[in-house]
């Protein structure tokens, strides 16, 4: 069993919402990734998403594309990302880690080898953007057999029949893409997200995380009104791009802590 379900259960019991920051492994350099993950947890992250760099990240906007390019220039591979998780686990046995990326690196490594390595390193979930639920039965079966959650994306255009299929295939949580576009796009429409989430909840009891457009404490707090988690990626990477490496952890914490505070303030307001 992964750490994800117990994490959400504990948060629900406390009346809190999950904060899930995303970083691209190896950006700005591989030596910083694990310290940055620890810094995010110290700043209030409940789950961390660790991006596997890929040369053609079709769902990602220019910010995460640049992060992948920097990581690839340092020679970061799927195997080295898994090693980073193993190093993180040597000090943090509690925080769930979700790998996010694309099918090509997994196919190159081989599914069985990937799942075995991810399990041994302490990976809790895997989100592969281009594994459609209709065509990845062996992938889902292999992950679940290893106690790892297959996490799937939901789009604003996903129809009800496909929602049901995704809900059956996924576990851990569902990742609702809050806009029609790539990561980091500016045209966030949380009103539409709020209208759509009851349809998702009607077909699945899994927690729902909202991402692809959350950029600050205000948008995070608003999304937390109707979602179980908020995911923030591109804005964190923008902060990294503006920071000297020696100050990167401090800068990310300074950005994330007000978001954590806003989510907790929203939770306190909801208590009768």
- The rounded distance, in Å, linking the Cα atoms of 144 and 138 is 10
Catalytic hit among 27, 60, 149, 264: 60
Residues 46, 49, 124, 228: which is the catalytic one?
Answer: 49
Contact 22, 212 (CB under 8 A): no
Element (H, E) at 195: helix 190-203
Q: Which residues contact 182 (CB under 8 A, 6 or more apart)?
A: 59, 60, 61, 212
**258: its two tokens:** 């007000």
Q: 125-128 and 18-24: which strand pairing?
A: unpaired
Buried-exposed string 255-267: b where 16+ CB fall within 10 A, e elsewhere: bbeebbebbbebb
Give kind and range of the element (H or E) at residue 250: helix 248-270
Phi/psi of residue 240, each to 5°? -60, -40
Give DSSP secondary structure letters for 101-120: E-HHHHHHH-HHHHHHHHHH
Q: Where are the beta strands (DSSP E) in 92-232?
A: 97-101, 125-128, 149-154, 174-177, 208-211, 229-232
Q: Which two tokens stand for residue 156?
A: 């604003």
Is 49 designated active site? yes
- Please report, for residues 35, 85, 97, 190, the alpha-carbon distance to residue 92 in angstroms, rounded to integers and kept in the order given: 11, 10, 10, 34
Active site residues: 49, 60
């Amino acid at each position: 069993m992964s750490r994800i379900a117990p994490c959400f259960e504990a948060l629900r019991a406390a009346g809190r919402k999950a904060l899930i920051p995303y970083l691209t492994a190896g950006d700005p350099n591989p030596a910083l990734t694990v310290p940055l993950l620890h810094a995010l947890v110290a700043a209030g992250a409940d789950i961390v998403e660790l991006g596997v760099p890929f040369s053609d990240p079709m769902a990602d906007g220019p910010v995460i594309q640049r992060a992948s390019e920097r990581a690839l220039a340092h020679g970061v591979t799927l195997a080295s990302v898994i090693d980073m998780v193993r190093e993180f686990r040597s000090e943090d046995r509690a925080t769930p880690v979700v790998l996010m990326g694309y099918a090509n690196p997994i196919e190159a490594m081989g599914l069985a080898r990937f799942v075995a390595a991810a399990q041994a390193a302490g990976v809790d979930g895997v989100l592969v953007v281009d594994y459609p639920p209709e065509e990845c039965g062996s992938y889902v079966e292999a992950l679940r057999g290893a106690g790892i959650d297959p996490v799937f994306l939901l789009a604003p255009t996903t129809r009800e029949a496909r929602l049901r299929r995704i809900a059956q295939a996924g576990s851990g949580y569902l990742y609702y893409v809050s806009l029609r576009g790539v990561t980091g796009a500016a045209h966030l429409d949380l009103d539409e997200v709020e209208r759509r989430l009851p349809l998702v909840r009607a077909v699945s009891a899994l927690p729902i995380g909202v991402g692809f457009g959350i950029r600050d404490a205000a948008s995070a707090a608003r999304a937390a009104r109707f979602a179980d988690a908020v995911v923030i990626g591109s804005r964190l990477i923008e902060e990294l791009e503006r920071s000297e490496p020696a100050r990167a952890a401090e800068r990310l914490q300074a950005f994330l802590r007000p978001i954590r505070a806003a989510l907790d303030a929203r939770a306190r307001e909801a208590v009768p």
